Amino acid sequence: MNFDSDFIARKSLLLASVPRDAQDKIIAAAREREMERGATVFLQGETATAVYIVVEGWVKLYRIAPNGAEAVVGVFTRGHSFGEAVAFTHDSYPVSAECATDCRLLRIETEAILRLIREEPGLALSLLAATFAHLHRLVAQIEGLKAQTGPQRVAEFLLDLAKCSAGRCEVTLPYDKVLIAGRLGMKPESLSRAFAKLREQGVTVKQNIAVIDDLESLRDYAAEDPAAAWAK
C-alpha cells in the first residue's frame, strides 16, 4: 500500500477515531483493489464480509425497486467508507455497490477487524462512532430531500465533497451527472437547472470540476429557509 492510500485510510470516517496502533493493524490487513467503471463491488443480498474505503474514484450504492427502477442510495468518493453497519453483524448487504468510475478501493475483511475487537474491546467504541456518523449523514440526506430546494441540495452535496475549510475551492464531480441527480432525488434536467441557479451563488461547473467562489457564502445559502432560497 502506498503512502497516499495509507493516509486516506487513516483519515477516513471508518478509522479517523481509531487509535494509531489499531489503525496500523487494520490497515495491515487491508487489500487494495483497482476496479473498472461498471464493476460490481457487492450485490444486494450477499453476505457482508468486508468494509471498503474509497481511495480514488466514485462508488454508488443502489437498490432495485420491484418495478425494476434503480434507486441511488448513496455515492462515495475519496476518503469515504461503506459497508460497516452490516458487515460487523455478518448480515446481508441491503444494497448493491458499483464503481461509477474507475476506482481504487481498500477492502478490509470484517473477520480481521472483529479479531482486533476481541483483543482490544475498547476499539469497538471507536468503530461504533463511524456507524453513528453514517446514520447522522443518512438522516441529514432525508432532511435535505424534504426541507431543501433543489439548488440547496446540490449546494450541500458540493460542500460535503469540498476539501477546503474556507474561501475558494474546487470540487471534483463524477462525470455521470445522472448519478448525482439520483443521489439527490432529482431528474437530470432538474440538476442542470440547479447548477444554473447556483451560478448566482458563485458556483461554476466545467466538465467535472465545480468551482466554489466562497464556501462560507454557499453554506449560508444551503442553510437558508427554502422560501428565501427560491427567491434568490
Q: Is the pLDDT of residue 231 over 80?
A: no
Calculate the alpha carbon distances from 4 to 10, 54, 58, 151, 174 in Å.
Answer: 10, 12, 17, 33, 20
Query: At what angle are helices 123-147 and 150-161 packed, to 10 degrees?
Result: 150
Closest CA to 212 of 144, 153, 166: 166
| Residue 216's pLDDT band (cuts 50, 70, 90) | very high
Could you tell me which residue, 213 or 78, shows the higher pLDDT?
Answer: 213
What share of the chain in percent tops pLDDT 90?
Answer: 39
Q: Is the pLDDT of residue 38 over 70?
A: yes
Please tell me the CATH superfamily of domain 3-139, with its number.
Answer: Jelly Rolls (2.60.120.10)
Interacting residues of 97 by C-beta distance below 8 A, sequence separation 6+:
40, 41, 42, 52, 59, 60, 61, 82, 83
Q: Is the pLDDT of residue 30 over 60?
A: yes
Indicate the CATH number of 148-231 among 3.40.50.620, 1.10.10.10, 3.40.50.2000, 3.90.45.10: 1.10.10.10
User: What is the spatial distance between Cα 54 and Cα 52, in angstroms, rounded to a whole number?
Assistant: 7
As a whole number, mean pLDDT of residues 88-97 equals 87
Identify the residue whose cell numbers are 496500523.
24
As a whole number, mean pLDDT of residues 157-180 equals 87
Q: Is the pLDDT of residue 37 over 80?
A: yes
Helices marked H in 13-149 — which ranges?
Answer: 20-28, 84-87, 110-119, 123-147
Domain ranges (residues) in the chain: 3-139, 148-231
Q: Exposure of 190 by Cβ count < 10 A (0-12 exposed, 13-18 middle, 19+ buried)? A: middle
Tens digits of residue pLDDT in 125-141:
777 776 666 666 666 66
As a whole number, mean pLDDT of residues 45-50 equals 92
User: What is the spatial distance between Cα 7 and Cα 47, in angstroms, rounded to a whole number?
Assistant: 29
As a whole number, mean pLDDT of residues 33-52 equals 94
Q: Is the pLDDT of residue 52 over 70?
A: yes
Q: Exposure of 113 by Cβ count < 10 A (0-12 exposed, 13-18 middle, 19+ buried)? A: buried
